[in-house]
Amino acid sequence: MKPSQRNRITCCSLTALALAGLLLWPGSGGAQRPYYQGKSLNLLVDFTAGGPTDIECRIYARHLRKHLAGDPRIIVTNRPGAGGRVAMNWFYGVARRDGTTVGCMTAGTRYQEWFLADPEAVGLKANMAEVIPVMFTPVVSVGAIRSDVAPGIKRPEDILKAKGWFAGGFTVESNKDLKFRSLFDLVGAQYGYVTGYPGSADLLGAFQRKEIDYVDGSTPFYLSMVKPIVDEGRAVPLWYSSPKEIPEIRPGYKADDFVRKLSGKEPSGPLWQLFQMGDSYRMILFPPKVPPEAIQAMRAAFQGLSRDRAFLEEYQKVVGIPPTMLTEEKELEEAVAPWKSATKEIKDFRLRYIEQGQKLVGKGAKAAR
């Protein structure tokens, strides 16, 4: 081989190596460094530790890392208060917008406050139209009442005979409170109302202390915290928000059947519409202006999680139903559409109903006796 040929080959080889290195360099157009490599991820929960939102979010945290390219460290933090509003305000106004803080929240009430109400009046500082949905999972709620409520509760129909019992909630404008109030009012139940508990664990404590007689929460909360009380004969499930029957919650009824059987009527009207608008989701959210690479990586991770056998088995065991994980933009848009497209009539009705609830709070409450 001639020297000139050797020089040309060496030159070409060095050029190829340089190009290969450039393609692999972070930020180049080739194989890029995973967005979350070398980073820590803060998974922010908007309710107390040990509550249903926290339980479910920690299941995500245990399995998410292996599906998130870059293998970041995941830290779960709780910021309870004001029915989740404290966390959302911090998330929107303070959290870094680089993808290293992701909300794991039950934030349907925040969307209602933004699109249906006066956010400033309730202290919501987050513009929910700017918050970025990543993944939603529908939540099945379950309500239960103490069996020792006079004259004694053995099945849902017995609440129509009961008087002087109290339902407990988070805030008058929260999805939780609006759902159970609208359901009880649809069937004509006579109940008292106490609200202001910061989380489900606090509600459960009040339920066990007999400060309140009724408590509800999602299936992980019911199965792990309330069902043992039911199994002891100290409580009775009343209703649950699922289109399918769940044998583990008998003698409780699906919400639509609860209305039919206790009222003798088909569920309809503004109270039923309000109940339906309270459909809840576990939400994975980003604050505004997070880089597209972070959004794509997080959605891909949850898509992988939805096929993870170990995750699915743990979720089914704890939550009681398989997850339905919405990650496509169209699916997420459809989930928030009922809030965004609410009519003036239902907005006005909701506002009046909240005002009625404020007048009911604490009247004759056990804690004040």
| pLDDT, tens only, 177-231 | 999 999 999 999 999 999 999 888 899 999 999 999 999 998 888 988 999 999 9
Residue 357 has pLDDT above 90, yes or no: yes
Cβ contacts of 305 within 8 Å, gap of 6 or more = 60, 63, 64, 67, 311, 325
pLDDT interval class at 320 (50, 70, 90)? confident
pLDDT-above-90 percentage for the chain: 74
Tell me the C-alpha distance between 323 and 242, whole Å.
13
Mean pLDDT of the chain: 89
Residue 152 has pLDDT above 90, yes or no: yes
* Best CA proximity match to 78, nearest among 248, 200, 193: 200
Cβ contacts of 217 within 8 Å, gap of 6 or more = 51, 52, 141, 142, 200, 203, 225, 226
3 state SS of 358? helix
Residues 352-366, mean pLDDT to the nearest whole number: 82
* Residue 166, pLDDT score: 97
212 vs 243 pLDDT, higher one: 212
| pLDDT, tens only, 324-356 | 899 999 999 989 988 998 999 999 999 999 999
| pLDDT, tens only, 78-118 | 999 988 999 999 999 999 999 999 999 999 999 989 999 89
What domains, with CATH codes, occur in the chain? 40-139+280-327 (3.40.190.150), 141-277+350-368 (3.40.190.10)
CB contact at 8 A, 73 and 112: no
| pLDDT, tens only, 19-72 | 444 444 444 445 688 999 999 999 999 999 988 899 999 999 999 999 999 999
Residues 286-302, mean pLDDT to the nearest whole number: 97
Tell me the C-alpha distance between 102 and 68, whole Å.
13
CB contact at 8 A, 140 and 167: no
* Residue 228, pLDDT score: 96
pLDDT interval class at 10 (50, 70, 90)? very low
179 vs 2 pLDDT, higher one: 179
* Residue 80, pLDDT score: 94
* Residue 1, pLDDT score: 52
* Residue 364, pLDDT score: 52
